[in-house]
Structure 1
Amino acid sequence: MKYQFSPLAQALSLALFACACPVQAQEKEALQKLPPVLVTGSAIAATGLNENAGSSSRLGLSLRETPASVSVLDREEIELRGASNTQEILKSVPGLIFADPPGSAGTVFYRGFGSGSLSQLYNGISVQYDAIAARPVDSWIVERVEAIGGPSSFLNGSGAVGGTLNVITKIADRSGDQGRLRFGLGDSGRGQAALSLQRGVAEQVLRLELNRSEGALWTQGRDRQAWQLAASWLLPLAQNVSHTLAVERQHEKVSQPYWGTPMLQPLGGGAVAGQLRFDPATLGINYNVEDGRYQQDVTWLRSLLDWRLNEHSQLRHTLYHYDALRDFENVETYTFKNGNSQVARSNALLQRHDQQVWGSRWELSHSGQLAGRASDSALGLDWSYNRQTRFPNSVAVIKKPFDLVDPYAPAAAQFYPASGLLPGYTPGASNQLHSLALFAENRTVLGAGFALVSALRFDRISLLARNLRTATASSPALFATTFKPLTGRLGLVKDLSADWQIYAQASTAADPPAGLLATAGFSALRDFDLTRGRQFELGSKLSFDGGRGSATAAVYEIRRRHIAITDPSDKTKVIPVGEQSSLGLELAARWQPSSALSLSGHLSHTRARYEDFVEPLNGQPVSRAGQRPANVPDWVAGAALDWQARASLGLSLDWRYVGRRYANAANDLWDGAYQLLGLGARLQLDPRLSLNLRVDNLTNTRYVANLSSSLPYLGAPRSATAALDWRF
Structure 2
Amino acid sequence: MSSRKIFPCAAFRIGGVCVYVLLPFPVLGAEDERREEEPSTVPEVLVQGQRPLPKGTGSLSLQEESQGSSRLGLTLREIPASINIISQQTMQELGLRTVSKAIQAAPCVTVSDHPVSPGAFSMRGFSGNQVRVLFDGLSLGLTGFVTRPRDSWNLDRIEILKGPASVLYGEGAVAGMVNLVTKRPYRGTSGTDVSISYGSFNTVRAGLGSGGTLGTDKLHYRIDGSYQNADSVMGVERTPYTLYNLTSGLLYDVSSRLNVELSFDIAHDQSKPYWGTPLAPKSFSTDPKNGVVSTRDGRTIDDRMLRKNFNVQDADMSALTTWTKLKVAWQPTDFIDVRNQSYYYTAKREWMSAETYTFNTGTALIDRDRFQVEHEQWVTGDRLELQVNHPIGRFRNRFVSGIDFNYTNFNRPS
Shorter-chain TM-score bucket reads: 0.7 to 0.9
Compute the displacement of 1:99 (Å). 1.6
Which whole-Å CA distance do the structure 2 matches of 1:281 and 1:368 have between them?
70
**1:359 alignment partner AA:** G
Distance verdict in 2 for CA 1:171–1:117, change over 3 Å: same
Tell me the equivalent position of 2:266: 249
Structure 2 matches for 1:321-720, cutoff 5 A? 321-338=344-361, 342-346=365-369, 348-370=370-392, 373-392=395-414
Tell me the equivalent position of 2:60: 47
**1:383 alignment partner AA:** F
For the 8 Å contact 1:234–1:242, the answer to whether it is kept is yes
Aligned residue among 312, 315, 339 for 1:316: 339
SS at the partner of 2:396? strand
Aligned-residue sequence identity (percent) comes to: 27
For the 8 Å contact 1:293–1:329, the answer to whether it is kept is yes
SS at the partner of 1:104? coil
Tell me the equivalent position of 2:174: 161
Tell me the C-alpha RMSD between the 2 structures.
Answer: 2.4
Tell me the equivalent position of 1:58: 71
For the 8 Å contact 2:88–2:153, the answer to whether it is kept is no
Tell me the equivalent position of 2:311: 288
Please give the per-residue CA displacement for 1:641-660, whole angstroms capped at 9, x wherever unaligned.
xxxxxxxxxxxxxxxxxxxx
Aligned residue among 188, 193, 209 for 2:201: 188
**Unaligned segments of structure 1, at least 5 residues:** 1-39, 393-728
**1:43 alignment partner AA:** T
Which whole-Å CA distance do the structure 2 matches of 1:159 and 1:356 have between them?
20
Which whole-Å CA distance do the structure 2 matches of 1:132 and 1:284 have between them?
29
Tell me the equivalent position of 1:74: 87
Which whole-Å CA distance do the structure 2 matches of 1:354 and 1:84 have between them?
28
For the 8 Å contact 1:105–1:132, the answer to whether it is kept is no
For the 8 Å contact 2:262–2:325, the answer to whether it is kept is yes
- Per mean C-alpha deviation after superposition, the further-off stretch among 51-60 and 370-379 is 370-379
**1:193 alignment partner AA:** A
Distance verdict in 2 for CA 1:279–1:133, change over 3 Å: farther
Which whole-Å CA distance do the structure 1 matches of 2:364 and 2:154 have between them?
46
**1:336 alignment partner AA:** F
For the 8 Å contact 1:215–1:224, the answer to whether it is kept is yes
Alignment of 1:144 with 2:157, yes or no, is: yes
Tell me the equivalent position of 1:494: none
Distance verdict in 2 for CA 1:86–1:48, change over 3 Å: closer
- Per mean C-alpha deviation after superposition, the further-off stretch among 189-198 and 257-266 is 257-266
Aligned residue among 172, 177, 181 for 2:185: 172
TM-score by length of 2: 0.78
Number of equivalenced pairs: 345
**Unaligned segments of structure 2, at least 5 residues:** 1-53, 284-293
Which whole-Å CA distance do the structure 2 matches of 1:343 and 1:309 have between them?
69
Tell me the equivalent position of 2:251: 234
Bigger share in strand: 1
For the 8 Å contact 1:305–1:316, the answer to whether it is kept is yes
Aligned residue among 302, 305, 314 for 2:325: 302
Which whole-Å CA distance do the structure 2 matches of 1:212 and 1:89 have between them?
17
Which whole-Å CA distance do the structure 1 matches of 2:115 and 2:179 have between them?
21
Tell me the equivalent position of 1:471: none
**2:405 alignment partner AA:** W
**1:150 alignment partner AA:** G
Tell me the equivalent position of 1:209: 224
For the 8 Å contact 1:336–1:344, the answer to whether it is kept is yes
TM-score by length of 1: 0.45
Tell me the equivalent position of 1:221: 238
Which whole-Å CA distance do the structure 2 matches of 1:266 and 1:126 have between them?
50
Which whole-Å CA distance do the structure 2 matches of 1:110 and 1:339 have between them?
44
Compute the displacement of 1:363 (Å). 1.2
Q: Which has the higher contact order (CA 8 A, sep 6+)?
A: 1
**2:305 alignment partner AA:** T
Compute the displacement of 1:177 (Å). 1.6
For the 8 Å contact 1:107–1:131, the answer to whether it is kept is yes
Compute the displacement of 1:137 (Å). 0.8
Tell me the equivalent position of 1:258: 274
For the 8 Å contact 1:106–1:115, the answer to whether it is kept is no
For the 8 Å contact 1:53–1:66, the answer to whether it is kept is no
Compute the displacement of 1:79 (Å). 1.0
**2:273 alignment partner AA:** P
For the 8 Å contact 2:119–2:149, the answer to whether it is kept is yes
Distance verdict in 2 for CA 1:48–1:197, change over 3 Å: closer
Compute the displacement of 1:272 (Å). 5.7
Which whole-Å CA distance do the structure 1 matches of 2:201 and 2:361 have between them?
33
SS at the partner of 1:188? helix
For the 8 Å contact 2:282–2:300, the answer to whether it is kept is no
SS at the partner of 2:354? strand
